[in-house]
Structure 1
């Protein structure tokens, strides 16, 4: 699979905004998605940030994006299901997918919400101690998206008609559900469920593998080993890449300083969870393409969602996306969609 050219090129943004004036930041995110479509990108993904100055409601934002684009796939990377009721989320996802004409690619993850002990009384005041944050929460969402029954009642009551499945039903949406995993266990589970697999620039150290590339490769292989489609199962890799082909000298200096400040964390596993970070890639598209050719996991995938640095300005994102589409993508064998 490593000899195959890159087939799908996407990007990921966090959508930062000013808390005192949040509209311009959200508008910037929508404009970046529109730009991505014009440049021929295959997909645009938005991160999810609760109680921060990033996109807290990606489904709502992507609903707006469906009305300003016509072709590009729209994804979430990822929605933490610990904050969500799977049935209600299934309704929202299906609605946006219908509005998009079948372009939504929801990415999700499980586990307790970050800082749960500090917010559980606000989030789940009556059920905090019995909420199930296991894979079962994702299985409930998958079942609902597949159109399986969520109630034993259906039919007409008075003048109202009721369904026993989530409505609207978006055919094919369950096949476009992605799981964002960073461990061998999550990779195997996603494969067993027949989901698609999102792997990013953050993974958990394995028992034997310590370097990022080896850890990520092991997860990709484990996922496909347990997926019904085997080597044909979809995996999207998300790394931070910053091409400088058309960057100004000031931008190049800023980009290099940004990467230098984040590089120390890649030296060894971090924290009790033993998180391992990938090195950000900065340089010309030719230089980045060469470094990606040496990345073991990249050789196993045919689609990517390169992450935009979240602290950069709108014009920086425009420059980076333009260089990715016009220089880096073609260097990796990708061709833009008209």
Structure 2
């Protein structure tokens, strides 16, 4: 949808929130400071990855709660919470609590499927049920029912001095309408049918189809999502590429950014694995050049907002430079106006 001359409606970025094992607080506080800086720069949103048994954010809902207390306007999202590791009932309680605290700024992005490296820890995660857990899209529907306020208990009333509700508490009206889902072509169609918002990333799958470039496949997925949505005018689509503006970067930073992109470029040349995984090339350069390349990108042309992904392995000063250039150089080059 953002074609040249059409302003980009919402600008955000995605962070893994990395930390050192020896000082996890420092890394988490760096993430909170980054979110606070993003609000000062006028970003519309910051999105948190979810990493389990790794040195990145394992509890994005807790981090959003902390961030909500030091911000007032910026939207806070997850990209994504793998529901295979969550109880939808309990997750709904946590999400609704943070949404109430943030005054309605939470955008939960979720996914389903067998969790990554599940066999390594399934006996701890689900000691008695690991062989029968349902990792299908029904898990998303369970979460949505809880968030919408459908009854989850057979009892409502007072016992002694304690009052009980039939639905998850707190209830945060509108939160269910801000749930996001991502994935391949089938997931795009399903998300549209369920009237969920649609997250795209820097990875797509050919799913056995003919070889096409990344942008073409991503555009096909977005088109399928909108075609399946009962009200396409309300359908939100976010694009998440790795985009690194270099306007105020030092020569050393530019050298490292270009080396990072070059080290990952070979994987973009052909589909990977049985599902035909296709990676998007990382985009590095001055904002005017990046804007021109994005306007030519078939996926970007169909998105209504963006959450550009920050690389995993850069230094704190690098992230400051990148998000500052995003807000002050790249955003305006795309016609975006700070919040």
Q: How far 1:225 sits from its partner (Å)?
A: 0.5
Q: Does 1:276 align with 2:306?
A: no
The separation in 1 between residues aligned to 2:211 and 2:305, in whole angstroms, is 24
**Does structure 1 residue 230 correspond to structure 2 residue 232?**
yes
Query: Residue in 2 aligned with 1:36?
Result: 38
Q: CA-to-partner distance for each residue in 1:84-111, whole Å, 9 max, x for gaps?
A: 0000000000000000000000000000
- Given that 2:2 and 2:8 are in contact with CA atoms closer than 8 Å, whether structure 1 keeps it comes out as no
**Does residue 131 of structure 1 match 2:133?**
yes
Where in structure 2 are the equivalents of 1:1-338 lying within 5 Å? 1-3=1-3, 4-181=6-183, 183-206=184-207, 207-337=209-339
Separation in structure 2 between the aligned mates of residue 193 and residue 208 of structure 1, nearest angstrom: 28
Deviation sequence 1:269-321 (CA, Å, 0-9, x none):
11223211100000000111111011001011120001111111111000000
Structure 2 residues not aligned, in runs of 5+:
none
* C-alpha distance in structure 1 between counterparts of 2:229 and 2:290, whole Å: 31
**What is the deviation of 1:2?**
4.2
Q: Is the 8 A contact 1:5 1:302 kept in 2?
A: no
Secondary structure at the counterpart of residue 265 of structure 2? helix
Equivalent position SS for 2:123: helix
Tell which deviates more after alignment, 147-156 or 71-80.
147-156
* TM-score normalized with structure 1 length: 0.98
CA distance in 2, matches of 1:303, 1:209: 27
Structure 2 CA distance for aligned equivalents of residues 81 and 2 of structure 1 = 31
Alignment partners' CA distance in 2, 1:309 and 1:115: 23
Q: Which moved more, 1:277-286 or 1:205-214?
A: 205-214
Instruction: Please say if residues 105 and 178 of structure 1, whose CA atoms lie closer than 8 Å, have aligned partners that are also in contact.
Output: yes
State the Cα distance separating 1:76 from its structure 2 match: 0.5
Post-superposition shift, 1:232? 4.0
TM-score where L is the length of structure 2: 0.97
Checking the alignment, whether the CA contact within 8 Å between 2:84 and 2:113 is kept in structure 1 is yes
Between the aligned partners of 1:149 and 1:61, the Cα distance in structure 2 is 29
Cα 1:196/1:209, change in 2 over 3 Å: farther
1:294, 1:162 → 2: CA distance? 55
Moved more, 302-311 or 77-86: 302-311
Moved more, 29-38 or 1-10: 1-10
CA distance in structure 2 between the aligned counterparts of 1:84 and 1:163, rounded to whole angstroms: 22
SS of the residue corresponding to residue 289 of structure 1 reads helix
Q: Number of aligned pairs? A: 336
Quick one: distance in 2 between partners of 1:322 and 1:293? 21
SS of 1:20's equivalent? coil
Distance 2:230 2:41 in 1: 34
For structure 1, list consecutive stretches of 5 or more residues without a partner in the other structure: none
Could you tell me whether the CA contact under 8 Å between 1:209 and 1:215 is conserved in 2? no
